[in-house]
Amino acid sequence: MVLHKMPYFPIYRFEKIFNCKMKYLPIDLKLFQENRRRFVRHLEPGSIAVFNANDIMPTSADGIHAFVQNTDIFYLSGIDQEETILLLFPDAVEEKHRQILFLRETSEQIVTWEGHKLTKEAATQISGIETIHWTSEFERTFRPLVFEAGRIYLNTNEHSRADTTVETRDARFIRWCMGQFPLHRYERAAPILRDLRAVKSPIEISLIRSACEITETAFRRLLSFIRPGVWEFEIEAGIVHEFLKNRSRGPAYEPIVASGENACVLHYVKNDQQCRDGDLVLMDFGAEYANYASDLTRTVPVNGRFTPRQRAVYDAVLRVQRGAIDMLRPGNILKDYQKAVGKMMEKELIDLGLLDAGDVKDQDEKKPLYRKYFMHGTSHHMGLDVHDLGDLHRKFTPGMVFTCEPGIYIKEEKIGVRLENDILITENGPVDLMETIPIEAEEIEDLMNA
């Protein structure tokens, strides 16, 4: 499949200008310029804000994980390199101090061992920021500027489900900054970014579409590959192969390939079992592209044909998904949306003989019975992070992107079915960014048996 048409430079020109290679094609720097403009509008007068790149995380011995950029600094600068610092000071006396980017200084040794790093000129081409210094110059640049400011905005990971066990560069900087400048007023950057990042620009939507298209190529490949006897990890290998082949860094999150009873384990990631004749295999995966995520789930019969019971459960989930997608409209909120999806699921579970209508009528509304078979939420924000930033109490707004992923999990029957698409909210109704990815049971069977 051809990637979504994007207004990017030809790749040969990109490599010549930047003196480096990147898997994804260049992003229009207007995205990052506009993101910074929107962010600084929310700062109190006389404020300075600082953002740090992620660390390169160690494994053991001298091993390291592949670098993954902090999504907030990427959102504001487009810089995808370690040891980067972004300083925003819109009220600075000198214009050159209003936006400053600090980069890791390269050397012949670094080029020999790690390859080329961004030059100052390349960083300006990517970000639109004119003032570029080396990271080693940060403290002597920051000190005089911070005394011009009355407030300092610092960044933390305020995702409600964040694991903060490992200390970040931002966390270390907070400790250092407050120790050096204890009399300044400190503010949180995270609430501003949570609100801004929830609504995607047209450029961001284009990047998410590209991630979805790469995901589609992987899924279509799998439909001709899955057969009784294949191993879950072989399916995972096929997914990753297509991602890397199409300029993705890889999965946006750890893929779930869960056959048989494994499909009833919501975050099953071992992917180490053999797929058996007569079972379903649930696959939850999504490509990353230019740091933007996609998130797909499909459930298919290992042998290419649904049993009548599997088909009944599958069609029930599909009906709920279609009804849920139709409710992803401006003005709705997640709490009311989830309650309405739950009502649709109750009807389907009654029709499948899994719930009793009388019991449902008398149930405790705080502990709905459908939760036994559908125990997770239907939707979450998606963007730079697969579980992207967003206020759960905020009304749906055009430009937001949500997943829609109802499921039914029947442990005693070893049946788990989940279907997930990525949905853009618009003034004119929901737009399915994965509408071309096969989902109808008949189409799935036809493609698997072609």
Catalytic residues: 62, 267, 284, 295, 376, 380, 387, 405, 409, 418, 420
193 exposure class (CB count in 10 Å sphere: 0-12, 13-18, 19+): buried
Shortest CA distance to 29 belongs to which of 45, 43, 9? Answer: 9
Sign of CA dihedral 113, 114, 116, 119: negative
Helix/strand/coil (H/E/C) assignment for every residue in 99-139: EEEEECCCCHHHHHHHCCCCCHHHHHHHHCCCEEEEHHHHH
* CA distance linking residue 418 with residue 409, whole number of Å: 8
In sequence order, which residues have a C-beta less than 8 Å from that of residue 307 and are 6 or more positions away? 278, 301
**Inter-residue contact 277 to 303 (CB < 8 Å):** yes
* CA distance linking residue 403 with residue 193, whole number of Å: 20
Place of tokens 């442990």: 411
User: Following CA atoms 319, 324, 327, 329 in sequence, which dihedral angle do they give, to the nearest 10 degrees?
Assistant: -120
* CA distance linking residue 135 with residue 231, whole number of Å: 47
Shortest CA distance to 300 belongs to which of 404, 221, 411? Answer: 221
DSSP-assigned states of every residue in 2-49? PPPP-----HHHHHHHHSS--SSPPPPTHHHHHHHHHHHTTSPTTEEE
Task: Return the number of other C-beta atoms located less than 10 Å from residue 254's C-beta.
Answer: 11
* CA distance linking residue 389 with residue 204, whole number of Å: 14
Tell me the three state secondary structure of residue 436: coil
Six-digit token string for 289: 């592209």
Tell me the three state secondary structure of residue 323: helix
HSE toward the beta carbon, residue 74, CA cutoff 13 A:
18
Beta bridge partners of 64: 58
